[in-house]
């Protein structure tokens, strides 16, 4: 069975753009894509603002019927209670978030998030009907010691523990050495690891899940290299950091189809 996977271009704003800047950004992006006759059915666009922007962005998306998906950058393993500073998946679902990034390397690195915490967060997302965007990737040191796939495969195997076969998930391969470095993986490297991660999804959740699950590449994606990644059969989109903060650049990444095969 051949399943068409709608490409997903997701902008992870990280700790950038306050709620006023977020409104201006989303409006400008919408206009930029309207002018270009961007076809909302051929590519899904997602924005992942800081928590404090979510309410404002959600209101704008709903009011103006802007067809962007909304996601958060993290969530708590817990649903409610005495967890100061934490944000429940229940709150995110109420704000019409469809997605939540889990296990980003910056969470793993600066907040010591273990694979087990990541797995608990995946479960928390699924409890609230949020699609987890599960981030995995190797550091430069891992790459040297173990090659590209070993660490991301191990991370994904733990994250998928207890995930039902029919769960809607997204996997993002983000080599840590490529994030914010201007040094993207080659399309061949991205394809190799994304294909391997798809096999892990297949082993854990079955063939249907492997065929349907979108596997993204992230790390120094720009308008100039997106087409080369999207030509690869197992790369279904991109998780974009820095370039998702520049309207024209992000719009050009979203319109990548125009460049494919040119
Ligand atoms: P850059 O696109 O800035 O390299 O960041 C990638 C990333 O971490 C997205 O989650």
Mean pLDDT, range 107-131, rounded to an integer: 98
pLDDT at 52 over 60: yes
For the chain, helix, strand, coil in percent to 5 are: 45, 15, 40
CA-based nearest residue to 174, from 231, 249, 235, 239: 239
Catalytic residue numbers, as ranges: 104, 174
Mean pLDDT of the 116-133 span? 98
Q: Between the CA of residue 119 and those of 76, 150, 157, 176, 185, what are the distances in Å?
A: 11, 18, 9, 19, 26
- The answer to whether 196 touches 234, Cβ cutoff 8 Å, is no
Q: Return the residue whose CA atom lies nearest to atom 2 of ligand 1.
A: 241
pLDDT at 2 over 80: no
Q: How far apart are CA 31 and CA 233, in angstroms?
A: 30
CA-to-CA dists, residue 165 to 8, 9, 172, 201, 209, angstroms: 21, 24, 18, 9, 7
Question: Within 13 Å, how many C-alpha atoms sit on residue 211's CB side?
Answer: 7
Of all residues in the chain, the percent with pLDDT exceeding 70 is: 94
Mutational pocket test of ligand 1: of 71, 218, 253, the residue with most ligand atoms within 8 Å of the beta carbon: 218
- Our answer on whether the CB atom of 221 is closer than 6 Å to any ligand 1 atom is yes
Every domain of the chain and the residues it spans: 8-33+44-260
pLDDT for 260: 41
CATH superfamily of 8-33+44-260: Aldolase class I (3.20.20.70)
User: What tokens were used for 158?
Assistant: 């733990």
Please, which pLDDT band fits residue 34 given cuts at 50, 70 and 90? Answer: confident
What DSSP designation does 78 have? S
Q: Is 169 in the pocket of ligand 1 (CB under 6 A)?
A: no
Q: Strands of the chain (E only): list them.
A: 8-12, 44-48, 68-72, 99-102, 131-136, 170-173, 214-218, 237-240
Residue 24's pLDDT is what? 98
Q: What is the pTM of this model?
A: 0.96
Average pLDDT over residues 151-171: 98
pLDDT digits (tens, 9 = 90+) for 55-89: 999 999 999 999 999 999 999 999 999 999 999 99
Residue nearest atom 5 in ligand 1 by C-alpha distance:
241
pLDDT > 70? residue 37: no
User: Which whole number is the average pLDDT over 197-208?
Assistant: 98
Assess whether the C-beta atom of 253 lies below 6 angstroms from ligand 1. Answer: no
Identify any residues that bridge with 99 across adjacent strands, giving them in sequence order: 71, 131
Cα 256–chain centre separation: 17
Secondary structure class of 246 (helix, strand, coil): coil
Nearest ligand 1 atom to the CA of 178 is: 4
Q: Is 11 in the pocket of ligand 1 (CB under 6 A)?
A: no
d(C-alpha 22, C-alpha 61), whole Å: 11
Q: Whose CA is nearest to atom 7 of ligand 1?
A: 241
């Amino acid at each position: 069975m051949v399943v068409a996977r709608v490409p997903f271009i997701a902008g992870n704003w990280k700790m950038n753009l306050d709620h006023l800047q977020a409104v201006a950004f989303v409006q400008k992006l919408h206009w930029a894509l309207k002018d270009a006759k961007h076809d909302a059915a051929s590519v899904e666009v997602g924005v992942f603002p800081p928590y404090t922007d979510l309410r404002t962005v959600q209101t704008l998306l709903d009011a103006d019927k802007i067809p962007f998906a909304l996601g958060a950058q993290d969530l708590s393993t817990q649903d409610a209670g005495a967890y100061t500073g934490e944000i429940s998946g229940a709150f995110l679902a109420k704000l019409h978030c469809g997605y939540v990034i889990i296990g980003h390397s910056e969470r793993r690195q600066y907040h010591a998030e273990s694979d087990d915490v990541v797995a608990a967060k995946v479960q928390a997302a699924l409890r609230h009907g949020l699609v987890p965007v599960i981030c995995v990737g190797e550091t430069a040191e891992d790459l040297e010691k173990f090659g590209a796939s070993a660490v991301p495969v191990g991370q994904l195997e733990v994250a998928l523990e207890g995930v039902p076969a029919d769960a809607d998930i997204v996997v993002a391969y983000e080599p840590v050495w490529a994030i914010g470095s201007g040094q993207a993986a080659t399309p061949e490297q991205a394809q190799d690891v994304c294909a391997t991660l798809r096999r892990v999804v297949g082993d854990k959740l079955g063939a249907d899940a492997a065929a349907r699950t979108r596997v993204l590449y992230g790390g120094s994606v720009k308008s100039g290299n997106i087409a080369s990644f999207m030509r690869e059969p197992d790369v279904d989109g991109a998780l974009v950091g820095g370039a998702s903060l520049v309207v024209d650049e992000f719009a050009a990444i979203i319109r990548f189809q125009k460049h494919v095969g040119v």
